[in-house]
Structure 1
């Protein structure tokens, strides 16, 4: 029986596993997904696969994905068996389970990679065998000026480029709200990701990526790459902008979403005593401020 282009069995890969799997999960991403796919095709290395996961789209994005998969054997399309929307966590799990690469990069359908992104990040993982992740710099791209965000490049200052102890980076994530790059500037070892995913409770929703990174940093070092490798598109339909509009996320005042995830992390992440004490302090101070803050 012939398979649909979106059936996971439709394009089973053969041959050696690629160095890196780029996973793009999309929901009604027709406005942007062409650019995301094009940025992978433009990479200065060719040892990659692109896994496009449809999370219940009703627009033209599945057709765009299928067209690219038909033109390049390194590109595969997936969808949930019931064809419905299951959320980012379930879509990424589907993509990771199907991925064959030694390393993983999550590229949101509205973001783009610079041509050197995969070669730079995975080159470090190939060279530094005991580093679990690479964090690179990002351009926060003010694609839509109506949201009132200024364009800027991220920085890891005061940390120098190179290896950084995981617990040190973990404490930095506890102190600051936006200190790690978005997924498009992170490369992870697939085996570490799978082991962490199966190691106890995971946090879902806002801060899902940060919570996963904290679990990895509790056990592994990270490499800071002082180079912009991606552009993170800021626009009104992004998850963070929607949460800010709803009043649950804020970079200026206490954030209800952040307080909840820090409390979860203090209980479920294998922190050393310094990190746990810091997390409990931030959580308790946040809870106290929330009790005094007016609800929106």
Structure 2
């Protein structure tokens, strides 16, 4: 993923870095030999998938890349797997940490080392199709764009493509900051960004969820930029039940963090009327989601009076409850129809 000047990441990085000076001491930057693309990967306990992720990068038709892996104090075999890959491929760099500091800190460390003209992300449980980097880079340069992305192609946990994509795009589209705020799922995309656009911007190290949205929003606003999104070129996104985006136990701290980040953003920029309205609407939506967490937790704990209190005192939450009941009723009816069909009734 300083908020008044937006010139640097807030505060210093947490301690616990085992190799905080690798980039400065071991890598002499020669602009003539700098790679086209720096791929950054934050990893925590990704041993089940990380070898496949790295191999998908090594199979790229575009060979002019570097991979910077920041391991966030994994307790599995992740480091050994990356070390083995790095020993056989000088384009791979591994940075390790002795304490878990979160994805924002990890990605900021990688960004500080990035030498490429472009920067993109590969999560340790995802994959690149073989020509993805070449195709995306060619599109970016032919369109003169500073930020480009491709629609995510969804894999199941076993790595098989489901036939679905995040946006279902059939043609390229251009999105600005207002569009991002109105459709936060755009931040699930893995953009390729010109490195110069990130020179004075970094991930907010206080965020462990929603950090990609926050950084992308600030990049778009600071540079008055647009993101061009193409139909799927080959970022294969693994949908997992234990990912942060599906971990319901993380909802409350994640939502609070996003609310605070939204407030900091609104206080840091002179926003246009459309963007100010969109951010205000997002704030209300996040507050509603937080109140809905209160309701669902109260119901699970059989504190029904508390659940009713939260619902009555927040009319938007009441709409959430109605939509939830409609969905449950629909699924119940659908299940009964299928059961009847199976029984031949």
Q: Output the TM-score relative to the length of structure 1.
A: 0.79
Alignment of 1:152-163 (within 5 A): 152-155=164-167, 160-161=171-172
Q: Distance in 1 between matches of 2:218 and 2:275?
A: 12
2:207 corresponds to 1:204: yes
* Greater percentage in strand: 1
Distance 1:58 1:209, change over 3 A: same
Distance 2:288 2:102 in 1: 31
Cα distance, 1:282 vs structure 2? 3.4
Separation (CA, whole Å) in 2 of partners of 1:88 and 1:40: 20
Question: Mapping of 1:136-285 within 5 angstroms?
Answer: 136-143=150-157, 152-155=164-167, 160-161=171-172, 164=174, 168-183=175-190, 186-197=191-202, 204-218=207-221, 219-242=224-247, 244-248=248-252, 259-268=259-268, 271-284=271-284
Cα displacement (A) at 1:59: 1.9
| Higher Cα Rg, which structure | 2
- Which of these residues, 59, 74, 77, is aligned with residue 57 of structure 1? 74
Shift of 1:152: 2.1
Which consecutive residues of structure 2, in runs of 5 or more, have no partner in the other structure? 1-17, 298-345
Structure-2-length-normalised TM-score: 0.69
Q: In the aligned structure 1, how far is the partner of 2:103 from the partner of 2:51?
A: 19
Instruction: Specify whether residues 93 and 294 from structure 1 end up closer, same or farther in structure 2 by C-alpha distance, changes over 3 A only.
Output: same
Aligned to 1:89: 104
1:137-180 CA-to-partner distances (Å, cap 9, x unmatched) read: 111222169xxxx762122659x515x2xxx5322222234234
Residues 62-73 of structure 1 mapped to structure 2, 5 A cutoff: 62-73=79-90
Superimposed CA distance per residue, residues 102-125 of structure 1 (whole angstroms, 9 cap, x where no aligned partner): 111111111111111111222233
Partner of 1:98: 113
> 1:43·1:116 contact (CA, 8 Å) conserved in 2?
yes
Matched residue SS, 1:197: coil
Once the two structures are TM-superposed, the CA of residue 92 in structure 1 deviates from its matched residue by 0.8
Q: Aligned-pair distance for 1:222?
A: 1.6
Residue 295 (structure 2) pairs with residue 294 (structure 1): yes
Q: Which whole-Å CA distance do the structure 1 matches of 2:253 and 2:100 have between them?
A: 24
1:217-255 alpha-carbon deviations (Å, 9 max, x no partner): 22212222122321111113311122x2444499xxxx6
Decide whether aligned partners of structure 1 residues 84 and 114 sit closer, same or farther in structure 2, where only a CA change above 3 A counts: same
Matched, 1:111 2:126: yes
* Structure with greater proportional helix content: 2
CA contact (8 A) 2:127 2:235 kept: yes
Measured after TM superposition, the shift of residue 30 of structure 1 is 1.1
In the alignment, is the contact (CA less than 8 A) between 1:22 and 1:51 conserved in 2? yes
CA distance in structure 1 between the partners assigned to 2:163 and 2:20 by the alignment: 36
Does the CA-based 8 Å contact 1:21-1:51 persist in structure 2? Answer: yes
Counterparts of 2:288 and 2:229, CA distance in 1: 34
SS in 2 for 1:118: helix
**CA offsets per residue over residues 197-227 of structure 1, 9 Å max, x none?**
39xx776221110011111122212222122
2:45 match: secondary structure: coil
Structure 1 unaligned regions, length at least 5:
none
Q: Secondary structure at the match of 2:176?
A: helix
